[in-house]
Amino acid sequence: MVLRCIFFFLLCLFFVSGSGCGIRVWSVRGYEREFEAVEKAFDAAAERPASEQASEFRLVANMYQGLIDKGIRSGQLYYNQGNAWFYAGERGRAIAAYRIALRYLPNDARILANLRTASGITNETKINSDPNNTSSIQMESGDGILAAERVPFFEYLFFWQNRLGVYEKVLCSQIFAIVLFVSGLLVLFLRQRFRRVFLRFSVVVFVLTLISVVSVAYDWYRFECFSYVVVSVETAEPRKGNSLQYDKAFIKPVPFGSTAIIIGERGDWLHLRFGESQDGWLQKTQVVRY
């Protein structure tokens, strides 16, 4: 009876891992021609006269958005869209696209380099795939200093969290789950002398599977349960309320390219959280939402 209960639990864990915790895996099946057409449009826009390139690249970026709206997800797709937005002169939108691309390709040197260029920061500045990674410039608020970048304890513990792409995490969890499932079957049906060996092995694989599933779940929680913004104006001055009549939330303005979590919305204003605890209101026209 105990072994049956264990097997049932392993089966549940197998299906949870196999589902990827609700993360959709990107596939180009049925969209190859559309994808190639957008890439050709990108190349054609680059050959247009300089005066026409901005409008052409804006159209290309919207074509990429059309593919995204159909459910296609990949780091390369968002990277290409970021390039299109950058050449269209929409640096804020480019930063947003690059940051999403880092979820899928966190170690891609091209994405990191273009993100630095679009943000206007130096190559020495560290950039990670955390969407809530704030500007490297500390900003003073009425209550103290707004922290520049603090890595959550969970990401210290799960040190690979920002080093592996989301599909790599899903793949690892599925592989561990398959091994665990097979090992569980062997524990049930092998003879007693072999059962102990595979039981110990199953315990180790179970721990690895559980850790990998938690890692995928955290990725889903961080990217799917929150909405983020990029400050798209050179300097923004968050207010303590949703009106220009309210006092400034910070002593210094928030620089271009800073990111924040959306925690509220009222009319044309967004209530944003910068860093770990500091919050303020900005007009929607001052940010790019992603």
pLDDT at residue 40, as a whole number: 93
Where is average pLDDT lowest: 124-133, 162-171, 183-192, 258-267? 124-133
pLDDT at 264 over 80: yes
pLDDT at residue 135, as a whole number: 42
What backbone torsions phi and psi does residue 82 show, to the nearest 5 degrees?
A: -60, -40
Q: List, in sequence order, the alpha helices (H) in the chain.
A: 2-18, 32-46, 50-69, 75-87, 91-104, 109-119, 153-157, 166-189, 192-224
Burial class (CB in 10 A: 0-12, 13-18, 19+), 29: exposed
pLDDT at residue 36, as a whole number: 87
pLDDT at residue 148, as a whole number: 41
pLDDT at residue 30, as a whole number: 62
Domain 230-289 has CATH 2.30.30.140: no
H or E segment to which residue 271 belongs:
strand 269-274
How far apart are the C-alpha atoms of 228 and 225, rounded to whole Å? 10
- Sequence-distant (≥ 6) Cβ neighbours of residue 99 within 8 angstroms: 115, 129, 131, 228, 230, 259, 290
Under the banding of pLDDT at 50, 70 and 90, the label for residue 10 is low
Higher-confidence position of 164 and 189: 164
CB 263 within 8 A of CB 279: yes
Summarize the confidence of residues 91-101 as an average pLDDT: 95
Under the banding of pLDDT at 50, 70 and 90, the label for residue 169 is very high
CATH class of the domain whose range is 32-131: mainly alpha
pLDDT at 138 over 50: no
Tokens of 290: 């992603």
Q: What is the residue extent of each domain of the chain? A: 2-24+154-224, 32-131, 230-289
pLDDT at 262 over 50: yes
Sign of the CA dihedral running 100, 101, 104, 109: negative
